[in-house]
Amino acid sequence: MPSIFTKIINGEIPCYKVAEDENFIAFLDINPNAKGHTLCVPKQEINRIFDMEEKHYLDLMRFSRKVAKALEKVIPCDRIGISVIGLEVPHVHVHLIPINEMKDMTFQHKVQLTSEEMAALAQNIQESL
């Protein structure tokens, strides 16, 4: 069965998209740790990041860096934290999280944004790429 992220990639379910190229997509996390929490996802459905072919992995990091640079422009924060977990969705994704303190990386502290705020934020990030 395709992962929820494959369904997003195929346009079967919606997302707040911030970037896309031939091999990767980035969209806002639906349950963000912080405003601007973004996921960078390879279009090829792979469960574990270190199972990725080396070039594909390095390309994902390059894509994630580009998105992180756009996040830095849009979200006032100390820095962009990066994390890869995948216990909930077994399809590789890089979490990019604007952080000011350690709790922003814990996945226990969550923030809520309206759908209008999410859509405007995604557009701002997209325009800052």
Residues that bind ligand AMP (CB under 6 A): 4, 15, 27, 29-31, 39, 85-89
Q: Which residues are catalytic?
A: 93
Could you tell me if residue 107 is left (phi over 0), alpha (psi between -120 and 50 degrees) or otherwise beta?
left
Query: Closer CB to ligand AMP, residue 29 or residue 74?
Result: 29
Rank residues 86 and 128 by Cβ distance to ligand AMP and give the closer one: 86
User: 105 and 97 in contact (C-beta within 8 Å)?
Assistant: yes
Contact (Cβ atoms closer than 8 angstroms) between residue 20 and residue 12: no
Q: How far is the CB of 70 from ligand AMP (least distance, A)?
A: 18
- C-alpha radius of gyration, the chain, whole number: 14
* Shortest Å, Cβ 102 to ligand AMP: 17
C-beta of 55 vs 87, nearer to ligand AMP:
87
The minimum distance between CB 75 and ligand AMP, in angstroms, equals 17
What is the rounded CA–CA span in Å between residue 82 and residue 89?
A: 17
